[in-house]
Chain A
């Protein structure tokens, strides 16, 4: 495993064809690999023992509906009424007007189009309920109603739910909510049993790898948001560079995360687009350093390279 200068390189053209006239040194690749891997294994084990590993239990619709039934019911009502965040997100899920992030006429979000259309009432509430052995008759009542009736039912039920003691569905005062309480009650029971997770994830394949709908549903509720906030994972908590527990996260995303913490980005409705734009400009500046007069003089003011290649500069 000893490396040597390749005699064939002498036949190459240009600078590659110039024979090496400097000193030669033995180089043991096997030894370097063994030492490198051994050091990394020891470091990994020590750091895993000290800092822990990210092994949080999965958050599911079942765990949500059992832990915070009121939040699940309120979110399900918003999905049914089409007022949830997902239902009004815009591309790639919906066609909602004015929902996209823009800078002037620049509207990158709309460029993709609606690639993953989601009708939250059907995908998260009605279709799953239709898979039950005893299909609720309220599904037919809902589908037969006009858009205005549906909106009125969900609006009044959502208001009543928020005013009920502990926001619990069982504590809601009687009123004209149409089939909504029955639909939400059945969906909550389905979620608490775990059946809803299976139905929403089912894609007709043996292995389900697409969790988009389940994550969208979870993300619309407060329960999931609060779990993330408790672990310092939300955007305004530098969450982009954090991991669950004490495990180090993506510390290389510090600059990306930083912009989300300061005005105007922290309060802008189009923060994602602004931050990506700023990072794009900074990346271009870095890539074009040799061509930017004042920027390329920095190594002269802060000559770190003279420390890195101190042997070379000492002999000059």
Chain B
């Protein structure tokens, strides 16, 4: 794990590309996480919505 962390910290970043589209792995993780949170916020019930009223 430590080797992996050191390798990622020292590298110029990991880039994924399809044609003119290139994206840094860190950016992709952030964007996918935001989309996942948005999707979860849509489908999950609001905590405590059925409780204290």
Contact = CB atoms under 8 A, between A and B. Distances in A.
Interface of A: 23-26, 49-53, 230-232, 237-238, 241-249, 251, 254, 261-262, 304, 307-308, 311
Contacts of A262: 20
Interface residues of B, number: 25
Nearest to B41: A308
B52 A242 contact: no
B25 to A, nearest CB: 7
Contacts of B30: 248, 251
A230 B26 contact: no
Interface string B22-44: 11111101110000000000110
A24 B52 CA distance: 9
27 contacts: A26-B52, A49-B5, A51-B29, A52-B8, A52-B9, A52-B10, A230-B12, A232-B15, A241-B27, A242-B27, A243-B13, A244-B12, A245-B9, A245-B10, A245-B13, A246-B9, A246-B11, A246-B25, A246-B26, A247-B13, A249-B26, A251-B30, A254-B31, A262-B20, A304-B42, A307-B42, A308-B42
Contacts of A25: 52-53
Given A232-B12, A248-B24, 14 more contacts: A25-B53, A51-B29, A53-B9, A231-B13, A237-B22, A241-B24, A245-B10, A245-B11, A245-B13, A246-B25, A251-B27, A251-B31, A261-B21, A304-B42
Contacts of B49: 311
A44 to B, nearest CB: 13
B28 to A, nearest CB: 8
B29 A248 contact: yes
Contact of A246 (B8, B31, B42): B8
Nearest to B4: A50
B26 A243 contact: yes
Given A23-B53, A230-B12, A242 B42 contact: no
Contacts of A232: 12-13, 15, 22, 24
Interface of B: 5, 8-15, 20-27, 29-31, 42-43, 49, 52-53
B19 to A, nearest CB: 9
Contacts of A247: 13, 26
A248 B28 CA distance: 8
B39 to A, nearest CB: 10
Chain A CB count within 10 A is highest, among B10, B23, B43, for B23
Contacts of B13: 231-232, 242-247
Nearest to B31: A251
Nearest to B9: A52
Contacts of B10: 52, 245
Contacts of A49: 5
Contacts of B12: 230-232, 244-245
Given A50-B5, A232-B15, A246 B52 contact: no
Chain A CB count within 10 A is highest, among B9, B14, B42, B43, for B9
